[in-house]
Chain A
Amino acid sequence: MTKIIEPKKQRNLFSRPSSETGVWSWITTVDHKRIGIMYGYAAFFFLLVGGLEALLLRIQLSQPDNNFLSAAEYNAMFTMHGTTMIFLAIMPISAAFFNYLLPLQIGARDVAFPRLNALSFWIFVAGGLFLYSTFLFGTAGAPEGGYLDEEVSRLASAPNGGWFGYQPNAGLRYSPGTAMDYWAIGLQILGIASLVSAFNFITTILNMRTKGMRLMRMPVFTWMTFAVSFLLAFSLPIIAIALFFVTFDRQFGTTFFLTEGGGDPVLWQHLFWLFGHPEVYILILPAFGIVSEVLPTFSRKPLFGYPAIVFAGFGIAFIGFGVWAHHMFASAISPVAQAGFGLSTMIIAVPTGVKIFNWLGTIWGGKLTLNTPMLFALGFIGMFVIGGLSGVTHSVVPADTQQTDTYYIVAHFHYVLFGGALFGIFSGLYFWFPKVWGRMYNETMGKIHFWLMLIGFNVTFGPMHWLGLQGQVRRTWVYAEETNLGFWNLIVTIGAFILAVAILVFMANWIYSRRKGEKAPFDPWDARTIEWSIPSPTPVWNFSKAPEIKSLDDFWHQKYGEDEDGRAVRREGTDELLLKLEEEGLNPDEEIHLPSPSYFPLILAFGLPFLGYAVIYKSIPLALIGVILLLIGGFGWGTEPLEEEFETSEETPDAKKSSTYE
């Protein structure tokens, strides 16, 4: 029997938010699942925006010497495309998966710090809005002493120094106006969001695992979350410092990166890529985790070489900190450094190769169900291999000096981050769709999406290899007709529009299936990990009873044993077990206290953009607003218990007091 639990009203700075449905319940939620879903939608919105920016770029490049965008607009668009896709789309979509799945995969009721989790999400939203407010308030222009033929449009009033912000071009003298300040401070704010969630996930994984969930029994996705959290925790401080330097250079006249003041522009490159390369693994490891869940499930075989895949993931994360200068092979570094970083870049191919071969070992000899998530996971392997191999050609330093800064590189990292990360993410979105919404997605539309995307992706990014080798340089607004690059650029642009159609099919499927999809059983895939042992959609309380884990892929082993040939055999009584699990999952027989919703993470988060504006506009009132919001948020948070005191209908109000504080 479920008991009715009503929170007792208590006064803090504000009265505790109490709605359980509607907009406010989402805004004040601290439930990891709702935060995950909001992360997902917000990130997908930015994915669409970044995609639109890419389409504008492609229209401009569809023919030589085109004038669809001005140079200023083009530069703003490619800067925002890169920044958006990395910081506002792929990273937060991964965070959506972490948030939703991590507690479910380790058998926990929530993350270690639910309100920090909400804070992380709202800081992300605040940072994203802050960055994009540059289109309303930002200014940009020609370098000091330079001339422009036309007014700088709103479209061109965005950051224009590249997502890599190389100094001194992104400094005040060569990028005047406020747009690059929006970029530097916006990334600073977004970095806080990622740092907060990184510490939260590390703590959660170390402390909140259910009974029997030893480290080496954790699902690979959880392992990759763990690895990514460490990468974030160690790499973000580096970019934070570098961004402070830039902001100081631009706002307060310091010269960290300016030669005329004794600074060094190459230092920025080192700092940026010392963050930037681990960042690449921050983007791709979650996808590694997702396909490591999807492939075994639809092959009906365990993951081949689980320990090797886990260690390879950490090996990649670790070596990932030692390869940064391969982004700088043409820059001012010595031959010794070139050789060293070339070798370390080759070495990182080894654990990556181990993963790919182990995934192939997983599907080899399996019984493959080729549905949408599986197709995306297989497509992921195929596309990621191409990106990985072109990556090896970059470790060959002399060859890289030909390829760097050309479309060959653009092709390479889109095969890694689109063909890799995004294919993995789509695989995960379809795979866990039934768990999140309690409905099935439409398989036919899913497959149409996959094939359109596979074709569109290769038509878009395949020819870029050729274009790069034929000499098309990156970040160029126009290319001369005599370079003979027009034909393939047109093909690439057509491919980009095929991709846009694919995304529309995905959205149509999502919207349709959310409302009209078939009701999903709680274990539609005959899956392996414990998040599939609870009802779909996931109940608010996740697990009605903390599960006890006896092995890796525990849920599968509850359902299946092995015969003398080593083939999977469904245990007797499995059907009854599943019925029992669903019944139990929906009807917890004990009181469940969940963390109560709170306004304070939201208030605290929205203090940050005001501080950002205050720095840009040197405004004391804006700074005061920011500080006051931070203080209200922090004070209210500090004095508010994690859980409200509860009274149940059977007990006297003061009979039971909760003393759980965050």
Chain B
Amino acid sequence: MQIKKFLKTRHLMLCSFLFITACIENAPLDSLSPAGPYARTIDDLFWLTFWIAVVIFFIVQGALLFSVFYFKDSPDKPEPKQIHGNNFLEILWTIIPVIILASIAVPTVRTIFDLAREPEDALKIEVIGHQWWFEYKYPDFEITTANVLVIPEDTPIRLEMWSNDVLHNYWVPKLNGKRYLVPGQKTYLNLHADNAEEFWAQCGEYCGLSHSKMRGRVLSLSQSDFDSWVINQQKNAANDLDQNSLAYEGQQVYLNAGCTQCHVIDGVWDVQGEQIAPNLTHFGIRNVFAGAALKNNSENLTKWLANPAQIKPGTFMPNLELTEREIKALIEYLGTLK
């Protein structure tokens, strides 16, 4: 009976343990499944600290529980000895933690400087924080894009970051820790992805109403895919649409309804200087939009264009009171922006 019960609890524990692990594997923002050297260094350091903490945890909680059960009052227990302290013990449990901490401190300090160092031959990308989306600029290629950061696999990336408004915090958990984006000064973060895959990003610092919807994607591509992506990005959008097509109608909506106040489409509507909303030139190949809060499909676009503030409270994109027909045309047009 006893054994059965014991096995049952064991079984239960195992199940819950597997369940936790299962959850972790499916979590796109999981910080414990590193996919690049920077994140892996951090991960190693975390687990070192974690296991030391686990040992201390069991020693202290063990001593606590043992005391509670063993020294619990019972009627025939004599009065305890009045011990006021023990210098040897007290020095011992001051020095031992110091030694343990020193053993964590050394790799910590080394890793801090390793992570901060600019990698050689890194691809430089600028990250600009806006309420509530991330803008990316590739100074080497003269590319401006948003929401999806595209990088080549197995290549060190150096992000140079600042904010256009409030504090933001750029975080791709599987590639590195967080770094703030600060208005008026530059911060730096290194990324490096082992393989071609898609990662999630999220703004870490509270940045106002739609902070929770300030998300991102990092798309790591093979070098050849990346090269062709760059070539494609450098092209302007086509400006020779068939005048009878729905897409052309959509382009006219873009030009006339007010979108051009904030959004640029290279080759159709160019504005020099600071951009206050995502560049839409290659909108159609990005799989997410609206600060990566929504998947790029016509259902979501319809909802967004009908009332942006309902999706992202506080957004700077006004409700332009577009008709159903205009929205449909606009979506058709955005789809052509590959």
Binding site for B on A (CB under 8 A): 70-72, 75, 142-143, 145-149, 162, 166, 168-169, 174-175, 259, 264-266, 299-308, 330-332, 335, 338-339, 342-343, 346-347, 349-350, 353-354, 356-358, 360-361, 363-370, 378, 381-382, 385-386, 389-390, 392-393, 395-406, 466, 469-480, 482-485, 487-488, 562, 565-569
Contacts and interface: CB of A to CB of B under 8 A. Distances in A.
Interface in B79-108: 79-86, 89-90, 93-94, 97-98, 101, 104-105, 108
B56 interface: yes
Contact of B49 (A264, A392, A404): A392
Contacts of B213: 478
A203 B108 CA distance: 43
Interface stretch (B59-67, B139-147, B267-275): B59-67
A404 B98 CA distance: 24
Contacts of B39: 402
Contacts of B131: 143, 146, 174
A361 B86 contact: yes
A306 B42 CA distance: 40
B317 A147 contact: yes
A269 B39 CA distance: 26
30 contacts: A71-B313, A147-B308, A147-B314, A166-B205, A166-B206, A168-B165, A168-B183, A301-B81, A301-B83, A304-B86, A305-B85, A330-B178, A330-B179, A331-B180, A342-B108, A367-B78, A368-B73, A393-B50, A396-B46, A398-B45, A398-B112, A401-B42, A401-B179, A402-B173, A404-B177, A405-B169, A466-B23, A469-B32, A471-B29, A568-B79
B60 A360 contact: yes
A364 B207 contact: no
B46 A169 contact: no
Given A71-B314, A299-B71, A479-B212, 16 more contacts: A71-B313, A148-B309, A264-B184, A330-B205, A332-B185, A346-B105, A354-B90, A361-B89, A363-B67, A382-B61, A397-B112, A398-B42, A401-B177, A480-B215, A483-B200, A567-B82
A471 B173 contact: yes
Contacts of A266: 182, 185
B187 to A, nearest CB: 5
A381 B68 CA distance: 12
Given A389-B56, A396-B108, A335 B113 contact: yes
Given A174-B165, A480-B215, A71 B64 contact: no
A147 B315 CA distance: 5
Contacts of B113: 335, 339
Contacts of A566: 81-83
A343 B105 contact: yes
A473 B29 CA distance: 9
Nearest to A140: B209
Contacts of B41: 398
A110 B57 CA distance: 43
B224 interface: no
Given A402-B177, A470-B29, A146 B315 contact: yes
Contacts of B215: 480
Given A399-B46, A485-B27, A368 B67 contact: yes
B42 A399 contact: yes
Contacts of A349: 97, 101
A302 B84 contact: yes
B83 A304 contact: yes
Given A370-B73, A485-B27, A382 B53 contact: no
B80 A366 contact: yes
Contacts of B104: 346, 392, 395-396
Contacts of B89: 357, 361
Main secondary structure of the interface of B (DSSP, over half): mixed
Contact of A354 (B57, B81, B93, B115): B93
B317 to A, nearest CB: 7
Interface string B106-137: 00110111011000000000000001000000
B314 A143 contact: yes
B3 interface: no
Nearest to A391: B53
Interface of B: 20, 23-24, 26-32, 39, 41-42, 45-46, 49-50, 53, 56-57, 60-61, 63-64, 67-68, 71-73, 77-86, 89-90, 93-94, 97-98, 101, 104-105, 108-109, 111-113, 115-116, 131, 165-167, 169, 171, 173, 176-180, 182-185, 187, 200, 202-213, 215, 293, 307-310, 313-319
Contacts, number: 326
Contact of A396 (B49, B85, B208, B210): B49
Given A356-B60, A470-B29, A367 B101 contact: no
A393 B53 contact: yes
B52 to A, nearest CB: 8
A395 B108 contact: yes
A64 to B, nearest CB: 11
B46 A393 contact: yes
Contact of A369 (B73, B182, B293, B318): B73
Given A174-B166, A471-B29, A482-B28, A385 B57 contact: yes
Contacts of B180: 330-332
B101 A406 contact: no
The 6 A-B residue pairs with the shortest CB-CB distance, nearest first, are A471-B29, A401-B177, A259-B184, A476-B212, A305-B85, A405-B204
Contacts of B64: 360, 363, 378, 381-382, 385
Contacts of A360: 60, 63-64, 67
A259 to B, nearest CB: 3
Contacts of B105: 342-343, 346
B212 A478 contact: yes
B57 A265 contact: no
A386 B57 contact: yes
A300 to B, nearest CB: 6
A471 B30 contact: yes
B42 A392 contact: no
Nearest to A331: B180
A174 B330 CA distance: 31
Nearest to B207: A169
